[in-house]
Amino acid sequence: MPRTKKRSSKTGLPPGTVLHIGERKTAQPIISIIDYNETGVEEKQALYVEECFPFKDKESITWINVEGLHQTEIIKKMGAHFGMHPLLQEDIANTEQRPKVDYFEEYIVIIAKMLLFDEKEKTVVSEQVSLVLGKNFVISFQEGVRGDVFDSVRDRIRKGRFAKRGADYLMYALLDAIVDKYFDILEKLGEHIEFLEEELIQAPTLQTLQQMYHLKTEMIYLRKSVWPLREVLSSLQRSETHLIDKSIHFYLRDVYDHTVQVIDTLETFRDMLSGMLEIYLSSISNRLNEVMKVLTIISTIFIPLTFITSLYGMNFEFMPELGWKWGYFVTLGIMVIISGFMLYYFKRKKWL
């Protein structure tokens, strides 16, 4: 899938125009609602976006998850009811956003990248996730990739572990799930790098080079997705907003530390791949040098032999050796002696 999306359709439109920019389009956006408090958990799928509106003013905590952004009317209706700024709605629909955090009076907006690993293609799939944190609700917008990383959060809510927690803790749990998935991605990429290292030492091929370049491209893209998230988490844990309790800052600091570990691992992998590319190019160069050395030695051996054969191939009438009975055999013997001596000399010099 392309790493960049076409933005030309947005050229000339006024700020705040909600236009979907992205390649993923689901057949029908899915809206799921989980509402919970100390008394229990209510879970449902909404057929219409208007079913989400009553949860804005409820005292319980509500998580509204929207999968699929191409039907921008859902974003517009949700934004109008929950008081989201038009520029925020525009950012949610644009799946090429850089991870960031924006603070408003009544809500906080966090944009991050959720990463999944495609086992079939052996590549990383990135999906933009936008989180809107309100006083008693969290709204998450996903592009619509099959599956996400939030199943563990859903299970904990169903088991009542979030019953006494606020919406800010739910926001932290979602960010923590996103970052934890990064470690799984890095583990799979690390295994691939180790496999390529063994292949590089034993018998590197052109396919090995292609895989290394592919991995290096993946690392650059991952760094672009993860590095800004560190700034987002740093900002959240230092924020003074009334929407995030001070007790949550400690949890956010833990996610921040995990993000730093991910970035350090990415940098290590990038250095390893750069070193592997250098080793590959050096091995190819050494192999070429070995071939050139053999060809040079062969050419060097044949220089005096070519001189002798060309000398006696001039066909002058008065050449004493031409009438000699043993001339042909003596000439062959001299050529063999010269070749043997040169081979002995090259081997003694350790050129062979």
The fraction of the chain above a pLDDT of 70, given in percent, is 94
pTM for the predicted model, two decimal places = 0.79
Q: What are 90-123's pLDDT values in tens digits?
A: 999 888 888 999 999 899 999 999 988 877 777 8
For residues 82 and 132, the answer to whether their CB atoms sit within 8 Å is yes
17 against 175, higher pLDDT: 175
Query: Could you please report the per-residue DSSP string of 226-255?
Result: HHHHHHHHHHHHH---TTS-HHHHHHHHHH
Average pLDDT over residues 51-79: 91
Nearest Cα to 70, choosing from 143, 147, 126?
Answer: 143
DSSP structure string for 147-193: --S-HHHHHHHHTTTTTT--HHHHHHHHHHHHHHHHHHHHHHHHHHH
Rounded (10°) CA dihedral 165, 167, 172, 173: 60
Q: Which of 120, 119, 138 is nearest to 129 (CA)?
A: 138
Chain position carrying tokens 């990038």: 270
Q: What is the pLDDT of residues 221-276, one digit of tens each?
A: 888 889 999 999 999 998 889 999 999 999 999 999 999 999 999 999 989 988 88
Q: Given the structure tokens 């040098």, which residue do they identify?
A: 289
pLDDT per residue as tens digits for the range 112-171: 999 888 777 778 888 899 999 999 999 999 987 777 899 999 999 999 999 889 999 999
DSSP secondary structure, 91-135, as one string: HHHBTTPPSEEEE-SS-EEEEEEEEEEETTTTEEEEEEEEEEE-S
> Is residue 10's pLDDT more than 60?
no
pLDDT digits (tens, 9 = 90+) for 176-204: 999 999 999 999 888 888 888 888 887 78
Which domains are delineated in the chain? 8-282 (3.30.460.20)
